[in-house]
Amino acid sequence: MDTQRLLNSVGKEIFVNYFYDFKNCTNKAILAQKLLDENPKATELGGQITRINCASRIINDKNALKEALAIILSSKRLSYDIISKARKIKSNEI
């Protein structure tokens, strides 16, 4: 599994901000619509389904999740808020 590629498909900031939405998703169509509605750069519902699928693959593989969070935490382009949320996810999930 190429965690970096999956994470890029989701987006680091989206992965962190919607982590628990992805983790607890029971209806992809509803979550996809939420992602589409709440993200101005999102344009296609199908793209949001791809995001959900990629995020789920990362979350369901503990090694991939560790790797994804390490990538996020080492990023120099993310805000302090996102890094802080990623640290909380790491401490709660790993």
Residues in the chain: 94
pLDDT digits (tens, 9 = 90+) for 24-64: 999 999 999 999 999 988 899 999 999 999 999 999 999 99
Instruction: Quote the pTM value.
Output: 0.94
Domain count of the fold of the chain: 1
Q: For the chain, how far is it from start to end, CA to CA, in angstroms?
A: 19
CB 23 within 8 A of CB 59: yes
Host domain of residue 78:
3-93
Helices (H), the chain: 3-10, 12-17, 19-23, 28-38, 45-59, 62-73, 80-93
Percent of the chain with pLDDT over 90: 93
